[in-house]
Structure formats: C-alpha cells, structure tokens
Amino acid sequence: MREIVPPISAIVRNDQAAIQEQYQRNVVPSYGRFPLAFSHGCGSEIWDVGGRRYLDFATGIAVCCLGHANAEITQALAEQSQKLMHVSNLYYTQPGGQLAEEIVKRIGPGKVFFCNSGAEADEGLYKVARKFGHDEGRFEILTAFNSFHGRTLAGISATGQEKVKKGFEPLVPGFRHIPYNDLEAAKAAISPATAAIFIEGIQGESGVTPATVEYLLGLRKLCDEKKLLLLMDAVQCGHFRTGRYQSFQRILEGIPEAANFLPDGISMAKALGGGFPIGAFWVRQPYADLLGAGTHGTTFGGNALGCAVALKIISVIERDGLIENIRAIGDRLKGALTTLMHSYPQIIKEVRGLGLMIGLEFQPRIPALAGSDKATSLQVINRLHEAGLLTVPSGMQTVRLLPAYNLKQNEADEGFSIIQNVVSKLAS
Ligand SMILES: *Cc1c(COP(=O)(O)O)cnc(C)c1O
C-alpha cells in the first residue's frame, strides 16, 4: 500500500527556535532534548520544521515499528474512531479480546492485562509478584544493575541505575539489584522475602546488552527451585524487535534444552501500538488469575482504538514478512557495522544486539571528541544528526539503532554509509 506524504503546512515557516522557546516557557524541563523539531514523516524518513529530511533509526525510541504515517495504521485509527474509541473497562469490546488472544498465541498459555505505557506494564508485574508472595510474607523483587524499568516511583526503584533515583528518595521498598548475566550473584541474592526476579531480555538503556543463554536457562531453573516468578521486561526488546516475537525466543533459538522456556510474566509497550500509546503485560498460567476483580485497573487500558491499531500492526508484520525483514536487514547491518569496527578499532569498541536493536559502543577516549565534556554517545549522535540520521543514546558510550521493521535495504545502506562517514571523520 502506498504511504501518503502529508503536504507541508504553513507551520513549517514557524521556525525551530520559536517552538523551542515555547517549550522552554511552558513545558517542564525534565528532558534534555536535541535541538530538532519535526513536522512530518513517511516510512523511515522524517522532516524537520525547516524542511530538512532525516533517515529515522530512532523511531521515537523503538516505538514507530511500521515507520511514520503508515497508511494502514491511519486507516485502522480512522475506522475504529468512527465506531468507538473508548468505553472503559466496565465493559467488553471486540478488539480487546482479540488483541489479548493474538498476544497469548505468540507467547504461551496465560492472560493479558492492557495499560498505557511501559512503566505501567512493569508496575502490573510488580503487583503480580506482590500478590504471588503475599501469603508467605514474600515481596522482594530482584532486578539487574544497568536495567531500565520506567520513571514512576516503583519504576525508578526497580531500575538498577543510581541516576534515575537521585533526589526522589525514599524509594519504594522491596527492590534489590543484582549484576546482569551473573547467575551465581542471582543465587546468592535470594532471601526468604524474595518473590520474583525481573530482567530485560536485552538491556536497552545502558548499552544494548543481550542476556546469555546460560543466564536465561539458569534463572528459569533457579526460579523453579526457589518458587520465584521469573518476570521479563520486554517493553523495548519485545514485540518482534529482534526478529522473533520475544527476545528470549531469539536468544534461545536452536537450544534443545530451551524448547519449553517461558518466563512467568512479560511486560510490553513501545512497538505494540506503533506510536499509539498502549502497554500490556502477559502472565502465565497458573498465575494468570492472581489479579482478580477489583485488584488492578486503569481507565484507558485496552481501549478499542489502541487495540485496533495494535491488531493491525501485528497483521501487517506477519502479512508482509517483516519478521524475516528484521532478521535479514538487522543481521546485514550488524555485520557491516562489525566490519566497520574492525576497520576503526580505535573508534568503535563493540557492536551488540539482535535483529533491529543494535548498539554501537564507542571507545572511551576518542581524541576528536576530547574538546567537549558531553557524553561520547551524545557527541556522536549530534554528528549523525548533522549528517541526516536519527539514532538514540544508550548510556554514555553507546549509540542505539532502532529502525522500523519495514526498513528497506537501500535505507539500511544509506544509514550505514552515514555512520561510516561519521566514524571515518572521527578517526582522521
Ligand atoms: C521504555 C522502557 C520502559 C518504560 O516505558 P514507558 O512507556 O516510558 O513508561 C520500561 N522498560 C524498558 C525496558 C524500556 O525500554
């Protein structure tokens, strides 16, 4: 289907400085924004208010999984909004049940709760864990250092990074952090109060670090032995991003012992709505009914509009073979970047990731960047912006690529050559 490029409106003449100034006067300054204001996009291309085109490997932080202004998403939004957008969770709608079924089908026996964001999906899993351990006085959830679980109070308590907690103490009790990919540390950390272990399949906000096979299988065994829930935050790495529905399915591919691997709960959001805000968690049987009537809720969660959009996205991904596209383009891009690393080992330290979630870790002391005290990742990203490519920082040293699932090979090549140019200039 052809994507529609909206005409450039008169607002384009409203320059970026005026927009920025309006934010400064009226918007809480909790974000360090890049000095870019966008007006419209089409697929993996996006235009700023001055009319400059960029290739988008940021996709609103792993959200716009079918690119911008996707005609079928627009159509699903229009059609559903002409019928019903929202009725609340006092009632049933057809898209809600259908979307839950599509998610259950792709993970395993269990049930789904719908909400509006990643942090809220994670919050639901904390409540599942609390309810699970409650009668035995267990409430503690172990999470990993360098994890990210959102910005609510429980989210920053769960997140294993000091910078998100600072100034907001006292934190929500019951969270303790363990080193990621370290099974022995997880074993040693379990206390009589522990109810769950909660990890990302690929840590997204501190450098793009996938879990190892041994870690996932070891945690499953450990949780079974100690009667703990194994919970996974798939807000960023889930929903097809790695070229399987869930990142653990990709990580564990071809491992015979992993054939029956399933966590007990999975949170998701970001790509689920492709830009429409929707989150969800899946919880496995026999825990799927732990949150009974009246124990959890949210006004907007699972509304007909969001669910209709999410259903359309799943059907397009499967109809258009986008899972294969994610794997093919992602693997080629990662391969090309790895070759680039071998050409410039003094600039690129490591290339990590799976599918279309790729992290480029830069060396700590690059002479060309020594003049600024800004993080290496931000300095590289600014240079990529100047060259016409959007990417996302992941910690101080890593640049993250999170393109749309329908990225075309020529677009991947264009993005790569922009990165190659920036890297070669850093080396000269
Ligand atoms: C983005 C993210 C969240 C938080 O999602 P929000 O929608 O911003 O609340 C939680 N966990 C992970 C792994 C994420 O990447």
Please identify which residue in the block is written with the tokens 């960047």: 369
Instruction: Confirm if 244 and 210 have CB atoms less than 8 A apart.
Output: no
The per-residue b/e assignment along 221-233, b for 16 or more CB within 10 angstroms, e otherwise, is ebbeeeebbbbbb
pLDDT tens-place string over residues 106-152: 999 999 999 999 999 999 999 999 999 999 999 999 999 999 999 99
Q: What is the pLDDT of residue 416?
A: 98
93-97 contacts, C-beta under 8 A, 24 or more apart: 93/303, 93/304, 93/307, 94/304, 95/304, 95/307, 95/308, 95/311, 96/302, 96/303, 96/304, 96/307
Closest alpha carbon to 276 in 94, 85, 406: 85
Closest alpha carbon to 173 in 197, 139, 200, 205: 139
Q: Give 105: exposed, middle or buried? Use CB within 10 Å, 0-12, 13-18, 19+.
A: exposed
Atom of ligand 1 nearest to the CA of 120: 9
Fold of 16-63+321-427: Aspartate Aminotransferase, domain 1 (3.90.1150)
Closest alpha carbon to 335 in 323, 318, 353: 353
Q: Ligand 1: which of 30, 149, 153, 247 to mutate, most ligand atoms within 8 Å of CB? A: 149
Tell me if domain 16-63+321-427 and domain 72-319 are identical in fold.
no
β-strand pairing of 202-203 with 209-210: antiparallel
CA angle (86, 87, 93) in 5-degree steps: 90
Distance 279 CA to ligand 1 centre (A): 10
Q: What is the pLDDT of residue 14?
A: 64
Would you tell me how many other CB atoms lie within 10 Å of the CB of residue 291?
Answer: 19
Q: What is the pLDDT of residue 228?
A: 98
Which sequence spans correspond to the domains of the chain? 16-63+321-427, 72-319
What is the domain class of 72-319 according to CATH?
Answer: alpha beta
For residue 263, how many C-alpha atoms fall within 13 Å in the half-sphere facing its CB? 27
Closest alpha carbon to 387 in 416, 346, 349: 416
Atom of ligand 1 nearest to the CA of 118: 5
- Residues in Cβ contact with 103 at an 8 Å cutoff, skipping those fewer than 6 apart: 112, 268, 280, 282
β-strand pairing of 229-233 with 194-200: parallel
CA distance 178 to 173: 16
Paired tokens of 282? 């899946």
Q: Ligand 1: which of 125, 148, 235 to mutate, most ligand atoms within 8 Å of CB? A: 235
Paired tokens of 63? 């959200």
CA distance 302 to 95: 8
Q: Which residues of the chain have pLDDT under 70?
A: 1-14
Q: Ligand 1: which of 270, 298, 300 to mutate, most ligand atoms within 8 Å of CB? A: 270
Return the residue whose CA atom lies nearest to atom 5 of ligand 1.
Answer: 118
DSSP 167-188: TSPSPPSSEEEE-TT-HHHHHH
Q: What is the pLDDT of residue 45?
A: 98
Tell me which amino acid residue 350 is. E
CA distance 6 to 205: 33
Q: What is the pLDDT of residue 6?
A: 58
Return the residue whose CA atom lies nearest to atom 15 of ligand 1.
Answer: 236
pTM as predicted? 0.96
